[in-house]
């Protein structure tokens, strides 16, 4: 069979002919060289297709190095691939890893909060847990490490508000609020990252990662606590811990007969002072020092053996 080859004349342009696109093959190196002229810049997808879809993107390798993760590139790619992603080939996604990761997160954060705040009421416990590992926080964490640039997912077609129903759009069945957002995908990728770390490197490694990245965040626990009957709560708390009943004692005072007296009152359980507060009226009992007791922080957090 005759094969005709057409030799076109070279394109007339001032810039040199493009060199082949290469990517160095070192594991931790991310160097991408695009040689196309500025005007004919190819899209990121085209460039990656030219290199070969097997290779991980430089941004992905950089992410792995930024977080200090000892993963091979295939696992990194699995971590950032959401199950909605449709590629040319069937690719492993992060759904199972995300499931595992959420539970691992829940374990280590619960453990930490349980030890750090031993007297925290149970409603506040779930709030603190949500604050550390909720979807919003995981999404924020993902954005802070640059996960949004590497996640692979398919954005669902947006539901368009069309009251006259003149447009026919193929939209998903779910409501607008349940639609997948980039924040959700980023958060899931973070959870799957921890799941992968647990699976590959074991519990100690995962725990260290959770403590370094998630539990180092600042969360104000004191503001969450609402005690409606502070005297009753304190009495109950002391009885439960087999301590003596709480009594308030006057520590110091000034200007009792004046217009603006100040009293320093301490709450004692036997001989032990639980807390003190400065009052303007002797009978008034604020619950500030109660929350101080309830939120007693044990400075040396030791894990249960």
Partner 1 sequence: MASTLSAKSIPLARPKNGVGAFVFQCRKLVFSYCEHFGSNNGMVCVSFHSVRVFRFKDRNENSPVLDYIRSDLVKFAKKNPQIEIVVQHRPAHHPIVKGFYLNGRDKVICVRNLSPSEIGDKVKLLRDSSGAKTKLLAKKPVLSTTESVRGIWSPFHSRRHKI
Chain residues in the site for partner 1 (CB under 8 A): 14-17, 19, 24, 26, 28-38, 58-59, 61-63, 65-68, 126-134, 136-137, 140-141, 143-146, 149, 209, 211-221, 223-224, 252, 262, 264, 278
Residue with Cβ nearer partner 1 (103 or 232): 103
d(CA 213, CA 235): 38
d(CA 128, CA 136): 13
Residue 166 C-beta: closest distance to partner 1, Å: 35
Residue 155 C-beta: closest distance to partner 1, Å: 19
Residue 97 C-beta: closest distance to partner 1, Å: 19
Catalogue the long-range contacts made by 45-54 (C-beta closer than 8 Å, 24 or more residues apart): 47/21, 50/21, 51/21, 51/23, 53/87, 53/88, 53/89
Residue with Cβ nearer partner 1 (37 or 202): 37
Residue with Cβ nearer partner 1 (72 or 252): 252
Residue 225 C-beta: closest distance to partner 1, Å: 11
d(CA 107, CA 104): 5
Residue 53 C-beta: closest distance to partner 1, Å: 18
Tokens encoding 22: 């290469």
Residue 257 C-beta: closest distance to partner 1, Å: 19
Residue 235 C-beta: closest distance to partner 1, Å: 26
289, 293, 294: which is closest to 119 by C-alpha?
294
For helices 73-80 and 182-201, angle between their N-to-C axes, nearest 10 degrees: 140
Tokens encoding 138: 């995981």
Q: Tokens 């995981």 sit at which residue?
A: 138
Residue with Cβ nearer partner 1 (7 or 169): 7
Residue with Cβ nearer partner 1 (69 or 290): 69
Residue with Cβ nearer partner 1 (128 or 185): 128
53, 54, 65: which is closest to 29 by C-alpha?
65
Contact 69, 197 (CB under 8 A): yes
Contact 106, 133 (CB under 8 A): yes
Residue with Cβ nearer partner 1 (223 or 283): 223
């Amino acid at each position: 069979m005759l094969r005709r080859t057409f030799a076109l004349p070279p394109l007339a342009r001032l810039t040199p002919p493009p060199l082949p696109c290469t990517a160095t093959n070192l594991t931790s190196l991310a160097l991408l060289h695009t040689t196309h002229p500025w005007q004919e810049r190819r899209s990121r997808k085209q460039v990656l297709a030219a290199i070969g879809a097997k290779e991980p993107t430089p941004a992905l390798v950089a992410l792995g190095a930024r977080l200090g993760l000892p993963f091979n590139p295939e696992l990194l790619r699995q971590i950032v691939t959401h199950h909605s992603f449709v590629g040319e080939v069937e690719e492993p996604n992060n759904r199972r890893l995300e499931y595992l990761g959420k539970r691992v997160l829940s374990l280590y954060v619960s453990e930490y909060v349980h030890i750090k705040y031993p007297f925290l009421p149970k409603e506040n416990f779930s709030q603190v847990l949500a604050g550390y590992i909720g979807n919003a926080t995981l999404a924020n964490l993902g954005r802070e490490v640059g996960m949004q640039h590497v996640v692979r997912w398919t954005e669902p077609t947006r539901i368009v508000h069309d009251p006259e129903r003149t447009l026919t759009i193929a939209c998903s069945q779910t409501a607008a609020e349940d639609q997948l957002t980039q924040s959700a995908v980023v958060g899931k990728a973070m959870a799957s990252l921890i799941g992968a770390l647990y699976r590959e490197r074991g519990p100690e490694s995962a725990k260290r990662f959770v403590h370094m990245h998630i539990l180092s965040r600042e969360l104000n626990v004191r503001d969450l606590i609402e005690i409606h009957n502070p005297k009753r709560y304190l009495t109950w708390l002391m009885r439960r811990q087999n301590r003596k009943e709480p009594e308030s004692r006057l520590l110091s005072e000034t200007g009792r007969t004046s217009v603006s007296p100040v009293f320093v009152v301490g709450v004692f359980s036997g001989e032990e002072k639980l807390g003190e507060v400065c009052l303007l009226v002797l009978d008034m009992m604020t619950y500030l020092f109660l929350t101080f007791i309830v939120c007693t922080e044990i400075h040396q957090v030791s894990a249960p053996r």
